[in-house]
Amino acid sequence: MPDLEVTELCFQDRGPYSFQVKGGECMGLEGASGAGKSRLLRAVADLDPRTGHLVLGGVDADTVSAPQWRRMIGLLPAESGWWLDLVGDHFHDFATLDPEMLADLGFEPSVQDWQVSRLSTGERQRMAILRLLVNRPSCLLLDEPTASLDPRAVEKVEELLCAYGDENQAPIIWISHDSEQLNRVSRRRLRMEKGGHLLVPEGDDNGR
C-alpha cells in the first residue's frame, strides 16, 4: 500500500509534524486561513526548505530527485499557474487524454486550442486538476480544489478525485473550509490551529 508517512517534519517556524495517510485514504485538513495548511502541503512536496522524513509507498523523499518526488506527490495549489498561450501546450501530449475524463470535467477535446487567458477561474481550476492527474501521481495533496467551482462542478470533481484515490490506492490530503465537503470525501481529519499546532485524529498509530 502506498502510504504517505510524515515524520518530524519541520519547516520555517513550524513543526515537528508527524502523521500518516494510508493508501486509498482521504484525510481532510481544516483550519483557519493563515494557519499554515498550504505551507504544510508545500513542505510535503519539498517545495520549501524542511527537515524530517517524508516517505511515500516506501520511497524516502531524500533518496529520489526533487522533480521525481514532486511528480509522485501531486500537489494541486490553490491557484494554478500557466506559462504558455494555449491550454494544450501545457500537456505532454494532449491527444492521449481520456476524452471521458475531459467530458466529466465539462470540456470538449477542442479545449486544446483555447487561449489560457480566456478560461474562467473555474475552467482553469478544472484544467489544472486534469493536468495533475495525467501525471499519474501516487498521492494527491489538494489545496481547496473546489473553491472556485460551481456546485455541479464541485460534485463532479469530488467524484473524480475520490475515484482516482480509490483506483490507484493513492493517499489524499484535502484542504477545505467546507466542513460538509470534508464529511463527504474524508473519514478522518487533521486540524491545524492558529499558530500551527496540528491535531492528528485518533486511531493514528503514528500520531502525536
Partner 1 sequence: MGVKPLSPLDLSLAASLLVVLGALSWRMQLGLAKNMTIAAIRTTVQLLLIGHILRLLFSNVHIVYMVLISLVMLTTAGREVVARQHRPLKGIQGWLIGSGAMFFSTFTLTLLALTVIINHQPWYTPQYAIPLLGMMLGSAMSGVALSMDRMTETVWQQQRVIEQRLLLGHSATEAIGEIRRQAIRAGMMPIINSMSTAGLVSLPGMMTGQILGGSSPMDAVHYQIMIMFLLCAATGFGSIIAVYGIERRMFDRRQRLRLDVLRLPKLTHRRST
Neighbour count for residue 34 (Cβ, 10 Å): 9
Shortest spacing between CB 62 and partner 1, in angstroms = 9
Q: Which of residues 133-192 bind partner 1 (CB under 8 A)?
A: 135
Nearer to partner 1, 36 or 189 (CB): 36
The sign of the dihedral angle between the CA atoms of 142, 71, 21, 48 is negative
Q: Which of residues 16-75 bind partner 1 (CB under 8 A)?
A: 45-49, 65-68, 70-71, 75
Q: Which of residues 72-131 bind partner 1 (CB under 8 A)?
A: 75, 77, 79-83, 131
Nearer to partner 1, 58 or 81 (CB): 81
What residue type is 163 in one-letter code?
A
Nearer to partner 1, 9 or 132 (CB): 132
User: Cα separation of 108 and 91, whole Å?
Assistant: 15
The secondary element (H helix, E strand) that includes residue 56 is strand 51-56
Q: Are β-strands 75-76 and 59-60 bridged in parallel, bridged antiparallel, or unpaired?
A: unpaired
154 alpha-carbon distance from chain centroid: 15
Shortest spacing between CB 73 and partner 1, in angstroms = 8
Nearer to partner 1, 51 or 179 (CB): 51
